Chain A
């Protein structure tokens, strides 16, 4: 389950020459232009840039949610686009976690049922899956909310459930696309604290899209995008997790 096997100097993710073109009718939008990026295990990477610069596209393409037009993406040593859709889906289940801006949870499942989903998908026994889901919910401070449906939770609580779900199967990398975009500042801070803690304490690799400069300022590594290109990649080693 724990796929965090590679040593810290081997990249967890290596993207080379990734190109993504959206075609709608006659219009073509090149959302990623020959993008190269490597992410090391245990990194917390922020992706920033103006709206429409290709942040979401980058996240979708590097995680294998979307197809690419050119280039190569390796995650945890495997070439994403050499796999079939089924294999890639399976790989996602084992090696990735996702947090989106909103609408993350399955509305008809309770918090615990949502969190245990990735475990069940990878064959964990139901009893164990439930126990781990509840433990994870406790970690994100929602031990008292396990049987609640998403509609019975606040936005911040919902996002924390999502983070619990993204992390419960100990994926190699967690992708988060503006996870605080729909939250007020207090809740946003809570969610960001949680992500920082997880990255620091457990070495969880996280790729996080945000357009919030305040959030960006606290991140150990930030890449900036414009027009589908990577325009800068800055590290602030003093913010990096201890190891």
Chain B
């Protein structure tokens, strides 16, 4: 992922490493110092490396997820297109022949290495010779010249459909069709061609590759290839004429010639251009592959960024502790003449060594993480797609991603270490040598105050327009920065602790309240805004708590004062976090940050699930089934049959949907490419129960929108996912925005205005084998008929089952009785539930990925405890001499880490619930989710208990070591 990041990243990394190398070579003292320090503290070194490994693993994991999704979507180009770059479809067979003739000369174009003409018809198939008859309503029956097909685009690789022409009465099936019919070579199969049953024998089964997988827009195509003349014999009623063009080069190389070849096709078509639709499926699929990979990779990177922040904090924390331990030593070095820059250099070299050691294992673990996420994602995507033909996940890793991940991990680690080193190298030499306590409560220097105050005012000024425009990132960040920069000035007029506490409280309140005050901040959700929100909330809350730990721990006072070993253990457990505020705070914030986001995800998923029944009602308006069928087959009109036929008594109402293929501009202006659109014309008043999340001002209710649609041909409605390619959906367009809708066959273009945004457009998504990238656009029936003419056909309907009839049961019966019309019946409510289940699963997946961050937090706690045991050796010795039991020492360490973990976890959980609740109250991101706000107590409790248990486990080792300290050795001065 992100090949354009590669060079800048490597540049920055190279410069940083080169600088360090230069310092190491030119300053032997600095180098020696760094190397000796690495060797001195093995445990700490191991823990720093572990922290960096996890950080890198998370980055690499996210990028590998992106790679895999990109690759998986790309596979579709191989499976369903192969050599096919352009496709020219005509619904009129007579026109089709004329068009084929016009396109033949293209074969001589040097950019083209194949032109193949075929006829295709929607069909259905039955295998009556299986144990149970198996029917498949979604079949494409092709009639083509097999020799030409074998040669098609062969210069760039196999066409996917080689082999001899089957004799009459035989058929070549592709694997998906053979699989769904449970049949194989030599077995009989019945095809319904144009409504008539005809028996065939399976000549071959070909893998779904290239031409064998090709379709007219679907993602999984169940193809039957027939010898020339077969379709003609069945009557040409429903046949499309298709010309496929292969550009020079292999599957992906050919795509680059799409532009010129498409231009060539259009000019070759000349006056017939209006009778055929030209599309560029491979270009579309590959562009979509990039978009999907990028979007999901970015999503996981966003989720991962919380863990990465935790990882950086871990490094900062460790280096601050190391500096504390080496204080006297470093003071001595400074006293004998080592410059501060050298100290920074030495620390940075040491850090760089840790980070470099972490790079390789980080990448390895990252690949494993990415693989795990991809496997889980595969399961979820499979149940996500409407027709069960979801994306097949194929694991893939690009070197670009690995290098990017490793480099990004290193750069972040180096930046954190360099910044920390610069900070910890500023100390008073005398105080350090004599091990005096750092002066606290010193007022900040005048210059610092001036600069910070200026920055504060600047941020405050800049915040005004950002707030006015509800710009997400700035709305959160700028006021927070303004407050933070005001702290030095405030510290001159009040105690520093008060100033910090007030600032933290203000930032916290703002972070929580911003979405209430500016409800539109999530309209264009960037990934960054969630990261900013979570980070601000967690940091400000933790600063607030650690500055006021005394007050927070007051309830424990009674316990601490108990004159028992227990009392002493509690007292010690609370005393250190109170005294060591920086390390406690920076450990706690790791917990708070990750738990906050975990709970946020839990709550969002809970809100969605709570609204499921309402969502189903909003999406369906009481319709329980959607049927799609081939309207062109001979025989009785399925629609008439639904209304008056055998099954009519099980059906209460039928709303026919007029359908056409269209192309639309993006009303959200995210892309300049035309969006493939499933144009749907709804009969007046039939769907007025389907709900809207947003309506044009002046339309008081949902019914008014549907009425407006019936009377104004330039109104359209759509759902929130129009033009969406993955990641969290935003609000990129609103009622009143416009788009241009074009009939690709006639080229007729009309401007349209959005009258409403549907709460859920599920009922309008095509049910049969269409690609997921087709976005429905709903118009009045008459408007569709006017613009699209004969291209518009009634090919689907919404069906309301009569009371007492199960939609699933009716679906089965309808498919069986309308097999010849290839009818596919989909229970909509079941779809809604499946989508929700898949959503929940996806949230789980994100949570699982995020939980890696908790590992970092727990590692961080372990580091702090290991250090604490080392630092407190003598104190422990004294305590033991005074009569403190070994068990008490152990317990005090366990409780101390438990306290930090518990505080961080509770804080995160509370903030997570609060943030979601406030967002739920006002934010547009939750419009349409009206099932109430559930607090997911059980899940939060499980999360808290697991976190706490893991933290205690991490502290158990150091605690035991502390208990085993021998007082007689610990109190020796010479030690």
Contact = CB atoms under 8 A, between A and B. Distances in A.
Contact of A106 (B879, B967, B972): B879
A151 B885 contact: no
A107 interface: yes
Contacts of A124: 563
The residue among A85, A118, A120 with the most chain B CB atoms within 10 A of its own CB is A120
Interface stretch (A9-17, A32-40, A97-105, A227-235): A97-105
B886 interface: yes
Contact of B881 (A98, A119, A120, A122): A98
Interface in B925-975: 966-969, 971-973
A121 interface: yes
B563 A122 contact: yes
A126 interface: yes
Nearest to A162: B878
B966 A103 contact: no
A65 B969 CA distance: 9
Most A CB contacts (10 A, CB to CB) among B878, B881, B972 go to B881
Interface stretch (B102-110, B294-302, B575-583): B575-583
A108 B878 CA distance: 13
Interface string A125-168: 11001000000000000000000000110000000000001000
Contacts of A129: 563
A227 to B, nearest CB: 18
Given A117-B568, A123-B563, A100 B885 contact: no
A90 interface: yes
Nearest to A90: B883
Given A106-B875, A108-B576, A109-B575, A100 B884 contact: no
Interface range on chain B (Cβ under 8 Å from partner) = 20 to 34
Nearest to A98: B881
A118 B882 contact: yes
A196 interface: no
A85 B886 contact: yes
A104 B875 CA distance: 7
B43 interface: no
Contacts of B885: 86, 89-90
A208 B880 CA distance: 20
A103 B878 contact: yes
Interface in A31-84: 56, 60, 63, 65-66
A151 B437 CA distance: 7
Interface residues of A, number: 43
Contacts of B884: 89, 93, 121
Contact of B883 (A103, A104, A107, A118): A118
A91 B885 CA distance: 11
Contacts of B446: none
A181 B974 CA distance: 12
Contacts of A63: 881
Nearest to B438: A151
A169 to B, nearest CB: 9
B563 A117 contact: no
A106 B878 contact: yes
A130 B973 CA distance: 30
B158 interface: no
A171 B688 CA distance: 90
A19 interface: no
Contacts of B437: 151-152
B240 interface: no
Ranked nearest first, the 8 interchain pairs of A and B with the lowest CB-CB distance are A93-B883, A66-B968, A108-B575, A60-B968, A108-B579, A151-B437, A120-B563, A126-B561
Given A109-B575, A121-B563, A121-B565, 5 more contacts: A90-B885, A96-B883, A106-B575, A107-B579, A122-B563
Interface of B: 437, 561-565, 567-568, 572, 575-576, 578-579, 874-875, 878-887, 966-969, 971-973
